[in-house]
Amino acid sequence: MKTDMFEPRPIDTSSVVLDPALCELTEILAENVHNVWAQSRIEQGWTYGSERSDAKKTTPCLVPYNELPETEKEYDRRTAAETLKLIITLGYNIEKE
């Protein structure tokens, strides 16, 4: 059994500022992140419920992205934005054709 505490060390992306086009992409990615998560939950037998219950496998977040509370949308946006920032930090370019 491991006794050390896990210390997350994400790559520093704080110097990256996303341009407006990538900010739009962030919202699209955030919605897709939610949809992938929701699809996975449904496949695992989760259903909509007014309260989250791991025992009952219910969650109030099994709704379309546009119906999520802002706090949940912000979680997905942050995941999407940090992913884009990491891609740029690693030297990749993101261009729309």
pLDDT tens for 14-27 read 999 999 889 899 99
Helices (H), the chain: 20-43, 70-89
The radius of gyration computed from the CA coordinates of the chain, to the nearest angstrom, equals 17
2 belongs to a structural domain: no
Q: Which domain holds residue 56?
A: 20-89
Tokens of 39: 């699809």
- The amino acid present at 24, given as its one-letter code, is E
CATH number at residue 44: 1.10.490.160
53 belongs to a structural domain: yes
2, pLDDT greater than 80: no
Per-residue confidence (pLDDT) for residue 3, from 0 to 100? 63
pTM: 0.85
Number of domains in the chain: 1
Q: How far apart are CA 31 and CA 37, in angstroms?
A: 10
